[in-house]
């Protein structure tokens, strides 16, 4: 089995510090990117611990090891910082998923990697789910967050649709409605993750996710 199939997603990566040999303009951009990365990483950790409504900008400043004034220098307000955090989370999820899929040798392996990474979030990146659920409570009131969350799930569907179409062209998958299959899988993934987060003693998570993956493969694999 490829190591990438069970890779932990780096939801909030630590950015590299600026190197000394850059010119002033380049170094300035690198410093800004590094500082923003520090702050958004701290915001991710604080929100995962305290929840969307129970943190202050000072909490984030302390966690990041910067002054609250520096946070306001890079982010005009709290909402701007949170939207930046959400976009960074989704970018890292998408980027990690695409890189892992690219290493697969065929669409069947790609589909397995895709489903494994999705299901692994509940066990290996639980903080990501907590933060995401907090953001979901805001989509009724914040159009920017609604658009970002919509883009996340649309991206999941599009990735799976692309895998299924490639498999159909190669004769690996049968002629299925790939958008329906992708929507079905994302619905199952979200539902089982939420139930597991609420009560992880209700069922055997790995057994159930394995059965869901088998069900999806039974739906799409072409008969030999």
Domains parsed from the chain with CATH numbers? 3-220 (1.10.357.10)
DSSP state of 77: S
HSE, side-chain direction, 13 A CA sphere, residue 201: 0
Q: Indicate the pTM of the whole model.
A: 0.78
Each residue of 94-152: pLDDT tens digit? 888 888 898 898 999 999 999 999 999 888 887 888 888 888 887 888 888 888 888 88
CB 208 within 8 A of CB 201: no
How far apart are alpha carbons 191 and 12 in whole angstroms? 24
CA-CA distances (angstroms) from residue 139 to 66, 131, 134, 148, 158? 30, 13, 10, 9, 21
- The radius of gyration of the chain from alpha carbons, rounded to an integer in Å, stands at 20
Bridge partners, 221 (sequence order): 173
Q: 1-10, 46-55, 137-146, 164-173 — which is least confidently predicted?
A: 1-10
């Amino acid at each position: 089995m490829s190591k990438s199939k069970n890779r932990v997603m780096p939801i909030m990566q630590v950015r590299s510090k600026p190197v000394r040999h850059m010119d002033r303009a380049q170094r300035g951009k690198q410093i800004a990117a590094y500082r923003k990365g520090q702050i958004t990483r701290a915001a991710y950790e604080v929100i995962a611990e305290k929840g969307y409504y129970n943190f202050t900008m000072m909490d984030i400043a302390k966690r990041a090891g910067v002054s609250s004034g520096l946070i306001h220098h890079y982010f005009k307000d709290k909402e701007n910082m949170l939207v930046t955090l959400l976009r960074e989370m989704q970018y890292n999820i998408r980027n990690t998923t695409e890189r892992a899929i690219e290493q697969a040798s065929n669409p069947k392996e790609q589909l397995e990697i895709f489903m494994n990474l999705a299901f692994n979030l509940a066990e290996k990146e639980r903080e990501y789910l907590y933060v995401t659920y907090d953001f979901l409570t805001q989509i009724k009131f914040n159009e920017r967050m609604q658009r970002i969350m919509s883009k996340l799930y649309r991206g999941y569907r599009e990735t799976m649709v692309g895998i299924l179409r490639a498999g159909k062209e190669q004769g690996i998958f049968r002629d299925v409605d790939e958008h329906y299959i992708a929507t079905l899988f994302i619905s199952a993934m979200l539902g089982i993750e939420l139930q597991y987060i609420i009560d992880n003693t209700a069922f055997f998570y790995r057994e159930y996710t394995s059965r869901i993956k088998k069900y999806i493969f039974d739906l799409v694999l072409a008969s030999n």
